[in-house]
Structure 1
Amino acid sequence: MNATHLGLLTGLALGLAVAFGGFGAFLAVLVLGAIGLLAGRYLDGKLDVSQLLGRGRG
């Protein structure tokens, strides 16, 4: 699955959350999606947590 497909699926999920659950559901899906993205990138080794937390090398 490439980035275009992932973006399309994310947009569809957010659109459905707005349509059926309102703005609160939209925010919940958005926040949980961002957490899932960060967790996935960390597990894939593509996210350096020290940079994210501001604890760089120097």
Structure 2
Amino acid sequence: MKATQLGLITGLVLGLAVAIGGFGAFAAVAVLGAIGLLVGRYLDGKLDLSQLTGRDRG
């Protein structure tokens, strides 16, 4: 399992554990799932954050 998939699953599970019920829970799960996905993609090297920090990798 790639880090992207693991990050997405972890974010979704944590979201479910934190917020149960209603639209607020849905929103929390969606946000935490997206954060997990971004962290996983960064760990896989498929997301370059150097443009946001102003630093180049070179």
Q: TM-score range by the shorter chain?
A: 0.5 to 0.7
Q: Secondary structure at the match of 1:25?
A: helix
Number of residue pairs matched?
42
Identity of aligned pairs, percent? 69
Alignment of 1:1-58 (within 5 A): 21-51=21-51, 53=52, 55=54
Return the offset for 1:50.
Answer: 1.8
Normalising by structure 1, what TM-score? 0.54
Normalising by structure 2, what TM-score? 0.54
Provide the aligned C-alpha RMSD in A.
3.0
Runs of 4+ in 1 over 6 A off after TM superposition: none
Give the partner amino acid of 1:26. F
Larger Rg: 1
More helix by share: 1
